[in-house]
Structure 1
């Protein structure tokens, strides 16, 4: 049996929710497939907090916002600062219900376009045909790992997206590779769960821990809404300056609520260092640093972020030869359309053409509005 729809949304995370909701709000027959908020539910720890506030939301129509969720539930945003991930997930489920979004929890095995229409073959062998497809591939496809990752035994290593339970590491010696929010938040979570010792190794200086405002992003998103292709139209030095601002606020300045949870007697920082060698012994790991120090560890956590590579999105294999790519990113029009007409892509994979802020939930409503407006012509 073949299901037919005008728009197939592949993915069930924030960007997919936003796009599917706005498409339906605008009369486009829409079918969404994927596991609802699975990365957020399964690959982020329950004790995690958001860096953003309730002003970041999913609704391109501006009605069912995060702030509206708080009001509807009789909650005060000031009582949830920082916002626990569980509250955000409650909000996304509330959003889905209010928008009447149904999620087909089957997964796409392959996408093709044999006769002008897209055909998605599902893992159960059934098919869905669609005039247009919006893919919002999750960042789990884009895990970034250093070359020496394979030198660490499988049982003794994990990317932060894989380490969401910490009880088994009680008393262990852990090395975290990376120095941004996830690195220090995972260090705090390990301290919360009685880790023996944590070494945090990163190339840059020790980040600051201070209150920051993300309001500077608003202007850039507004510019993207007002001027098609705004980000790509900037001179290289302008893009670098904005990316540098984003790096300073979002990467080199971390949340102050981490500080009391990072026990100084447990956590040792190794700034301006890199791992240059790994030796796996029978009882422990030995990691050699660029400053000559050797660390002894039971487990290594890679807080090494993500790097776009659409070739790693398995369901795109059937159309990959028709989607042009630069540095792992799909080449997108000002309306989020790929080089394959009718195929759109939002989320982290769009950040080369739209700016770093479109890899965060801040970009969800504007990406949905831009892409759906493009579809409507």
Structure 2
């Protein structure tokens, strides 16, 4: 049995958000344990040759002292900074150096179960260890959130996959591949496949592809800066709002927040699918793009995947390929996390399977916090990007620091209940 715990915090996940929270807790003297393979998805699942969509200045993990930035790492490692799109390899080298320098106590082990007991959370590890913690921070990033359209799941597994399943796209050399999607993942996957000499085409449901603007010059007039303010996520008033005002976003009506983050039939999502400005020349004119397509059905015929589609003119077409890659993004759902217990899930207030969070990222289960994509419906699309790490870490650690010094409840302080969401 697990009894009252003297461990204040357990962090599940060692990606950018988990490392940021850990670095902030460590700087405040709050004891914690953090579990997971450091930067696993970035180092083992993202494709070779990839560049980050985020600009260099928006791609640092949150160091509470503000010193261990990507810029500082590149200067010390004598790596070029800011002159090209940010290579995946450069970022992962920086992230691992950040982890080793600021969060060396990461335990490379999976958490297999999280349950709630009357006086603490009960965690089980893949090693067989069982421990209690007063609070748990879920920082699993995009793990267990891969989204594949239901139609494509009807195909045999060997004929379709999610884009996150491919580290080395050169394995598709000489093969026919259809990439489904219109965002950065789809566009860069298609570009890498084309450059690896695969025969690739891009299947897009929408009528066009969106591209991010080239970053604005540093020297602009005051009126230009007021009309189109710059932010870590790009330029423009709406983008600036999402990047710089997550707490104002939090107090918008629930339906408005959902529409902004996810979109609906009448409104496009803000910061929705779009390609980076530097990717355009590697796609346009080089890869066949089928726009305005509707997927009617799928079939496996003669060892190939066949998509039955209609184009914008209403004509039917069969697309045959050796493999279909769904570069259709990620959607968080609490029930997709295999380690959360059923009783805990029943107590978790959600909207569309996404936890409703307090201003401190705490869920309706006192002491249980969610970060990253799991918090985007509450604080905006900035939580899907690296630049969301700092705000997240500061808010969570402010709250956990208060719990650490109080003894008014088993969790440190009486939980801040979630406000009623309209």
TM exceeds 0.5?
Answer: yes
Q: CA deviation at 1:363?
A: 0.3
Shift of residue 147, structure 1, vs aligned partner: 1.5
Q: How does 1:267-282 map to 2 (within 5 A)?
A: 267-282=287-302
- Asked whether the 8 Å contact 1:153–1:280 carries over to 2, the reply is yes
Structure 1 unaligned residues grouped into runs of 5+: none
Q: Compared with structure 1, are the counterparts of its residues 16 and 218 closer, same or farther at alpha carbon in structure 2 (3 Å cutoff)?
A: farther
Name the structure 1 match of 2:249: 231
Checking the alignment, whether the CA contact within 8 Å between 2:347 and 2:364 is kept in structure 1 is yes
Query: 2:38 touches 2:99 (CA, 8 Å); kept in 1?
Result: no
Distance 1:118 1:209 in 2: 43
2: CA distance between counterparts of 1:76 and 1:16?
27
Deviation at 1:240, TM superposition (A): 7.6
Matched, 1:323 2:348: yes
| Conserved 8 A contact 1:13-1:36 | yes
Give the aligned partner of residue 332 of structure 2: 308
Is 1:162 the equivalent of 2:165? yes
Question: Deviations along 1:164-190, whole A, 9 cap, x unmatched?
Answer: 222231111111111111111011010
Map residues 336-375 of structure 1 onto 2, 5 A cutoff. Answer: 336-375=361-400
Q: TM-score scaled by structure 1?
A: 0.90
Q: Do the aligned partners of residues 138 and 153 (structure 1) sit closer, same or farther apart at CA in structure 2, a change above 3 Å counting?
A: same
> Structure 1 pair 107/205, CA: closer, same or farther in 2 (3 Å)?
same
How many pairs align?
A: 370
**2:78 counterpart (74, 79, 92):** 74
Match of 2:61 in 1: 58
Q: Give the RMSD, CA atoms, in angstroms.
A: 2.5
Q: Where do 4+ consecutive residues of structure 1 move more than 6 Å?
A: none
Structure 1 window deviating more from structure 2 (1-10 vs 63-72): it is: 1-10
Paired residue secondary structure (1:314)? coil
* CA deviations over 1:57-81 (Å, ceiling 9, x no partner): 22252221222212222333134x2
1:33-48 alignment, distance < 5 Å: 33-48=35-50
Paired residue for 1:289? 309
Residue 263 (structure 2) pairs with residue 264 (structure 1)? no
Match of 2:16 among 10, 14, 17: 14
State the partner residue of 1:87: 90
Residues 223-264 of structure 1: per-residue CA shift (max 9 Å, x gap): 33xxxx422312569758965899565524x22332343373
Q: CA deviation at 1:26?
A: 0.7
Aligned to 1:183: 186
